[in-house]
Structure formats: structure tokens, C-alpha cells
Amino acid sequence: MNISALTIQQIREGLAQKRFSAIELTQEAFAFAKAENAKTNAYLTFSDDRALASAAIVDAKLAAGEDPGALAGVPVGVKDVIVTKGVRTTCGSKILETYVPPYNATAVERLEAAGGVIIGKTNCDEFAMGSSNENSAFGPVRNPVALDRVPGGSSGGSAAIVAQGTAVVSLGSDTGGSIRQPASFCGCVGVTPTYGRVSRYGLVAFASSLDHIGPFARNVSDAATLLRAIAGRDTRDATSAAHPVQDYAVSMQQPLKGLKVGIPKEYFNGLASDTGDNIHNGIETLRKQGVEVIDISMPHTDYAIEAYYIICTAEVSANLSRFDGVRYTRRSERSDSLINMYRRSRGEGFGAEAKRRIMLGAYVLSHGYYDAYYLKAQRVRSLITRDFAQAFEKVDAIIAPVSPFPAFKLGEKVDDPLQMYLSDIYTITGSLSGVPCMSVPCGATKDGLPVGMQILTKHFAEDTMFRIAHQYELNRI
């Protein structure tokens, strides 16, 4: 069997027709993933025993004539900021290098209840802070499309394993573009659902009002299947929504004629020419399917970067205060007093980017600066959210680029944080407003580097988003 080309539907058919068992598929997936991982460093931990146990449950249900679930036997990778009971969860940080959680995230529970087989935890920027996956304490991930280039961040490992073919689907997390940008750079589908659509219980917090869990896949249908399996209300997460989960498979089959999509002029400034050409080709593909294309304006887009980095650093400063060497984190061996234990454990455990954001967050929350920075950023966030609300009164979806440029070379931006932050300029607005958004492949540059097209819809309109993405995927130029 060719693991790197399998889809969820093909796995279901193979299991039903007894061409292979779930255990055989899992063993094949492990052999391939472990052989390929040296190229990309995309996995941090493999979970052999857990995966084989999950596969055995699937085989037992099939033998008994029971429904094994929508993800039966499907090899899945999980970003290492999502906790897994009994399997190391590092968040890409030295401070959690040996941490083994005592419980599962809700998304993990639901994934496995649907028959998914978790083969490992994927490398990521430390505590999900980064746009290139070069901030991991365990080394950078390499883009499987071009090994000298970054896969995007912070969910670069989860994108890389799907693009490389060592997992069929994966879970990532998105705070300011950390699913969509790696999906664009690696040439796969990446989905950031509506804030609250998927429970954050068990997701190690970066910025609590911005964090989402979402899927990566090689096609839109597989991404929709994975999202439907993990979505829905969770009583353990007060921010999860009770809004009904749609049947995305049904909505995806509907033609696009009659839909209206908006093209925000602010999102097309500063685009690399190859990237812009591919996005415009994508828009033309939609137009040929009967979609009405309307020019719109999102006037507060230019303020998004500043607002985002004030809000997210403030929240991370609060969230990461719990990692102090007292309980489950790494403790400095040079702890000769309580205060030095705090200082040295955090100083030795956190990397440069985490320290930078903690300090920035502490600054904007400090006395005398809260109103000047944090409160003002929240007001800008409200204006950006209003831009989206007004736009969706006119259109059903918004089409935009994901990144101003394709995957850049390893080391190219790592010493220039401001340039690195600007790579998220087109994804941050969707994150601030909490709307569902995704990246779908829409061609490549002259150098063969993938380009992603971003689709954004109103809150909880994932069905429309998947409908557009699926029909585009079937008909793209």
C-alpha cells in the first residue's frame, strides 16, 4: 500500500474489502514515517503502543460488524501542544522536555473515538510562537517540498507530515495563522475553524482568546471529515460553542453558482508576483463556476499586526507564568533559593522567542501602559471584527492570499523578528475576528513552491467554506 497517497475514503474501502487490516496499515505507516523523519524532523515523539492499540480496536469492531468510525484506521499526527495521555507533550520547549500528561485533550478523545490512529506528536515552534518552525528547542522542521526551506509555523510539523505523506491527516493549532500559513507553504489543505467550534480543552494555551485547533489534509474532503469528528460543544471548555455541527460532506456537493465572494483590496498589497498570479487564477476559476466576484474594502487591516502582537503577547505573558519549575516543568539544577529557581528554570527552559513575547506582554500589561497599548489593541480588534461583519452582509465569503510570499529559506528571517511577524499579515485578521478560514492549494511559483488561497466565511459557516474549497479543488486551472 502507498501510505503517502491514501485518502480517508480509500482507507475505509480497503478495510471494508479486507485488502489490509488497521494493524497492518499502522505498521506500514510507522515504518514509512520513521524512515522519512530524518529528512524533515517533523515528528518529535512516536506513539507505537498507543497506535497499535487503537488499530486493534478498529479491527475488532470491523470483525464484529460494528461501525468503526469516520476515521477508522487513519494514521494521524498531533501537534505537540495538544496533550496526549501517557505520550510526551513538549510544546517544542526545553521546559516541558520530559512532560507526560495524565489526560487527553478533547480533540484527541474525539479523534480516537472516531477510529483515528495517532502515530506521533509533531514538531512545532515553542509554545506555538513562530511563523517558520525554527523556534523549536528540538531543531527546525524542513519543508518536504524543498528541504532548504521552512514549512511555515507554528504548526510546521503537522503540515510537513501530511505533505510528506507520513500521515493522512493531522491536527495543528492556529493563533495568528499557524495552520493556514504552513498549509500554504507545504501545499496541503489547512483549516482554522470558527473560534469555539473545536474545544480547546487540552490545548496548551498560547493566547487563549485566539487559539484554535484545526485539521491538515491533502484534500478538502479529508479535512472536512476530520473537523466534523472533533467539533462540537464541550462542557470542559467554557469557550466552546453549542452551535450545531453541519454535515460538510453534503454541503460540499452543491455547485457554486449564485454565491458572492469579496476580494479585499487591502490583502493584495505587497504580494510577490508569482503568489498574486496564482491567487488571481484561483479567483478566475471561481468566477467560471458562476461565482459573483465583488471588490470590497477591509479598512482596518493595516492595524492588524500591531493589535495582534499586543494582544497575543499580553495573553502569553499570563499563560506562561505557570511554567516556573515548581510542578511539572523542568527545574534548574542551580536552584539555591526560591526566587533563583523561578529565574533560572524559566531562563534555561524558555527559548529566545518565548522570552521576547513574555517580556513584551508584561510590558503592555504594566501600570501606565495598559490603556495605551492593550486596551487600544482590543478596540482595534473590535473594528476589524466589524469589518468582517459588514463584508459578510454583502458577500458569502472572502478570498485572499495566505502569505505575501512562498516558503522562504531556513535562516532567512530568523534574525529579524519584525520581518518574520509580517509573514502573517493576511492571516491575523481572521484570527482576531474568530471567523472560519482555510488555505487550499492554488498552484505554485516558477520555482515549484506551493501557494495557498485563503477562504474566509462568517462565524460557523464552515459548510460554505468547504463548499467553495471543494468545488474549487475539483475545477481549478
List residues with catalytic annotation.
79, 154, 178
Question: Which residues, other chains included, contact 14 with Cβ-Cβ below 8 Å and sequence gap of 6+?
Answer: 1, 6, 20, 25
| Side chain identity, residue 243 | H
Q: What are phi and psi of 48, to 5 degrees?
A: -60, -55
Q: How far apart are CA 345 and CA 321, in angstroms?
A: 12
Q: What are phi and psi of 66, to 5 degrees?
A: -95, 160
Number of Cβ within a 10 Å radius of residue 57: 17
Number of Cβ within a 10 Å radius of residue 331: 18
HSE-up of residue 95 (Cα within 13 Å, Cβ side): 27
HSE-up of residue 453 (Cα within 13 Å, Cβ side): 29
Bridge-based pairing of strands 437-444 and 169-174 is unpaired
Q: In what order do the strands lie in the sheet with 169-174?
A: 43-46, 117-122, 75-79, 169-174, 212-217, 189-192, 437-444, 450-456, 397-401, 260-264, 292-296
Question: Which residues, other chains included, contact 460 with Cβ-Cβ below 8 Å and sequence gap of 6+?
Answer: 194, 197, 241, 243, 436
Chain centre distance of CA 275: 21
Q: How far apart are CA 78 and CA 107, in angstroms?
A: 10
Q: Where does residue 65 rank: exposed (0-12), middle (13-18), buried (19+ CB within 10 A)? A: exposed
Reference 93, options 56, 58, 44; nearest CA is 44
Question: Which residues, other chains included, contact 379 with Cβ-Cβ below 8 Å and sequence gap of 6+?
Answer: none
Contact 40, 159 (CB under 8 A): no
Number of Cβ within a 10 Å radius of residue 90: 25
